[in-house]
Amino acid sequence: MTRKELYSKIKSLHLENEVMKTFGDNYTRVSNYNLENLVAKKESSLKKSSCNNTTDFKNVIIRIVSTLQGNNVIDVEDAKFILGGL
């Protein structure tokens, strides 16, 4: 990754303060190696959190459909159709 690409990633991921806390210096004065590692860790954690958000979303949909079915707002076939898309 070029220096320019690293700067762009640091800015888009809002890591300026994290670089300062971790390395005690502005990101423009930290090595490419350290910046690449920090960016990789951040991107990895974002991927993990997005997986959790998807699971949470599915659980919310399941609870809503169950409640609607329990209150006779939708029938079993409608519930199966909705949940089949998950």
SS in 3 state form for 30-50?
Answer: CCHHHHHHHHHHHHHHHHHHH
* Distance, CA of 42 to CA of 24 (rounded, Å): 18
Buried b (16+ CB within 10 A) or exposed e, 66-86: eeebeeeebeeeebeebeeee
57 SS3 class: helix
Q: What is the pTM of this model?
A: 0.56
Whether 50 shows a pLDDT value over 70: the answer reads no
* Distance, CA of 29 to CA of 31 (rounded, Å): 7
Which pLDDT value is given to residue 33? 95
pLDDT band at 76 (very low <50, low <70, confident <90, very high): confident
Give the domain ranges of the chain: 3-84
